[in-house]
Amino acid sequence: MFVDDIRTISGFISMILILLASLSWSLYTIISKNLLQRYSVLFVTSISTVLGTLIILPFFLNFPSEFSRFNNLDLFSLVFLVLFTTIIAFYLNFKGIQILSPPNASVFYYLAPVFTIASAYLLLHEIINAVTIIGGSLVIAGVALVNKF
């Protein structure tokens, strides 16, 4: 596997980055709740998408040769991901934060793997194996625990 041991420097850095990502998402959700009290869901989604793009763009521009290898299907897939999955997901996320509290809205993120597995099975005819079922069960158990407490 490609998993580094926590005792290595790269494993330690990976754990720090995971912790920072979790903290960033928590702050992002709380800030979003405050913004949604003053602005529309569509406006907050737009600002979030533009700012996220500006943050990622310098990293993307570091690999111009990779982008030049994109074919039409790659570009279509990228546009589809941006327009339909990312923007719609963020819009629905902000709508959930607006209606529910941020902690209650974040519970739905735990369900993403379950919907991913179901979609992969139905649309791509992926095979569901024991590891997938165990992982899905752990996700459902996590959601149950979060809702219980």
Q: Sorting pLDDT into bands at 50, 70 and 90, what band is 143? A: low
Q: Does the residue 3 lie in any domain? A: no
Bigger pLDDT: 111 or 90? 90
**What is the pLDDT at residue 38?**
92
Q: Sorting pLDDT into bands at 50, 70 and 90, what band is 72? A: confident
Rounded mean pLDDT of 118-124? 86
Q: Does the residue 83 lie in any domain? A: no
Q: Does the residue 135 lie in any domain? A: yes
**Owning domain of residue 114:** 102-149
Rounded mean pLDDT of 61-84? 78
Q: Does the residue 121 lie in any domain? A: yes
Is 60 exceeded by the pLDDT of residue 75?
yes
Q: Does the residue 130 lie in any domain? A: yes
Reduced 3-state DSSP string for the chain? CCCCCCCCHHHHHHHHHHHHHHHHHHHHHHHHHHHHCCCCHHHHHHHHHHHHHHHHHHHHHCCHHHHHCCCHHHHHHHHHHHHHHHHHHHHHHHHHHHHCCHHHHHHHHHHHHHHHHHHHHHHHCCCCCHHHHHHHHHHHHHHHHHHHC
Q: Does the residue 142 lie in any domain? A: yes
Is 70 exceeded by the pLDDT of residue 4?
no
Rounded mean pLDDT of 4-8? 60
Q: How many domains does the chain have?
A: 1
